[in-house]
């Protein structure tokens, strides 16, 4: 379903050039998105492009619409105006079939983990591949074990969420999302509900994921993470993108007063 490019008939692109063209089409294109919650105007015209392999960090004060924006991408929330395109598919919450296709390509990790408490770790991870992608049990478990090993959680495969620490739960949640082999991973404040000792293990997992080339959109206040792997930081304030740029640009030369205030607040 990739969008096809019109090519001038006198010009034949080489294989390398075709590959380059395909790669540079943004994997996620958010255009002019507006959202209201009844009377509350939450997103006031958002435009974001995310290319393959990019790590985008979205930050802002609570209520600025960051989580809502993220949840619009995989249709957990609806939006009234604008468009979101994921891998050529238009996200439209009213079209259920499309929504399922989008969700197969987009993985999301929540602040509160949302692990299934009645299933152990490996069942949590293999449920979706088995039921949605119809993978058989052995294959799904093999894949799950591989991913768990990369996370360093092989010994926890039969553990239930209740016996896992916060950091372990979140890493299982990340593994669960990865098991669906998504093209993009969304992270909604993944470390906000964690005790300080456990934040590092989750961020490390996310960093290694980024280094492997995963496209990621992360809503977080962890600026250390942003400095480390983010290609782009977006500062969202009251539903609009106030500033956007590379970590260096934003940290060293913030243009807006509010960005400065926010960064000061966070970095102290």
Partner 1 sequence: MTWMRVLLLLRGAVVALEVCTLGIILGCVLGFCLSLMRLSKIKTLNMLSLIYVELFRDSPLLIQLFLIFYGLPILFKVQTSALVVATIAMTLNSSAYIAEIFKSAIGGIMKGQWDASYSLGLSHLQSLRYVILPQAFRIAIPPLINQFVSMLKSSSLASIIGFVEITKLATMIRSRTFTTFDVLGVTAAIYFVMCYGLSRLGSYLEKRLEIGT
Question: Residues in contact with partner 1, total (CB under 8 A)?
Answer: 24
> Are 59 and 233 a contacting pair, CB within 8 Å?
yes
Which residue among 89, 127, 228, 240 contacts partner 1 (CB under 8 A)?
127
Kindly tell me which of 125 and 223 has the beta carbon lying closer to partner 1: 125
The alpha carbon of 119 is separated from its chain's Cα centroid by a whole number of angstroms, namely: 24
Contact status: 216 vs partner 1 (CB under 8 A): no
Task: Give the pairing type, strands 40-50 and 81-86.
Answer: unpaired
Contact status: 60 vs partner 1 (CB under 8 A): no
For 167, other C-beta atoms within 10 Å of its C-beta total: 20
Kindly tell me which of 180 and 240 has the beta carbon lying closer to partner 1: 180
Tokens of 54: 């990019």
Which residue among 35, 66, 157, 176 contacts partner 1 (CB under 8 A)?
176
* Nearest distance in Å: CB 104, partner 1: 5
Separation of alpha carbons 236 and 59, rounded Å = 6
DSSP state of 203: H
Contact status: 193 vs partner 1 (CB under 8 A): no
Kindly tell me which of 20 and 116 has the beta carbon lying closer to partner 1: 116
Tokens of 175: 């593994």
> Are 84 and 72 a contacting pair, CB within 8 Å?
yes
Q: Provide the binding-site residues for partner 1, judged by CB under 8 A.
A: 74, 76, 100, 103-104, 106-108, 110, 112, 114-118, 127-128, 131-133, 162, 176-177, 180
């Amino acid at each position: 379903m990739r969008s096809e490019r019109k090519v001038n008939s006198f010009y034949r692109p080489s294989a390398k050039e075709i590959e380059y063209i395909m790669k540079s089409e943004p994997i996620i294109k958010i255009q002019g998105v507006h959202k209201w919650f009844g009377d509350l105007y939450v997103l006031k015209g958002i435009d974001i492009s995310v290319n393959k392999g990019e790590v985008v960090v979205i930050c802002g004060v609570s209520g600025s619409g960051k989580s809502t924006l993220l949840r619009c991408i995989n249709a957990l929330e609806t939006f009234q105006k604008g468009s979101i395109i994921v891998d050529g598919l238009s996200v439209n919450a009213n079209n259920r079939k499309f929504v399922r296709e989008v969700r197969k390509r987009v993985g999301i990790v929540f602040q509160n983990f949302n692990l299934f408490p009645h299933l152990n770790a490996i069942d949590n991870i293999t449920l979706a591949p088995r039921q949605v992608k119809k993978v058989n049990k052995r294959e799904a478990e093999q894949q799950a074990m591989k991913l768990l090993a990369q996370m360093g959680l092989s010994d926890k495969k039969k553990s239930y969420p209740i016996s896992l620490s916060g950091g372990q739960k979140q890493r299982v949640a990340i593994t669960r999302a990865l098991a669906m082999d998504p093209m993009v991973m969304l992270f909604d404040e993944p470390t906000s509900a964690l005790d300080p000792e456990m934040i590092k293990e989750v961020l490390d997992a996310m960093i290694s994921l980024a280094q492997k080339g995963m496209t990621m959109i992360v809503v977080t206040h962890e600026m250390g993470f942003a400095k480390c792997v983010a290609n782009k930081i977006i500062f969202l304030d009251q539903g609009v993108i106030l500033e956007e740029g590379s970590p260096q640009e934003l940290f060293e030369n913030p243009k807006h007063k509010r960005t400065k205030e926010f960064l000061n607040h966070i970095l102290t």
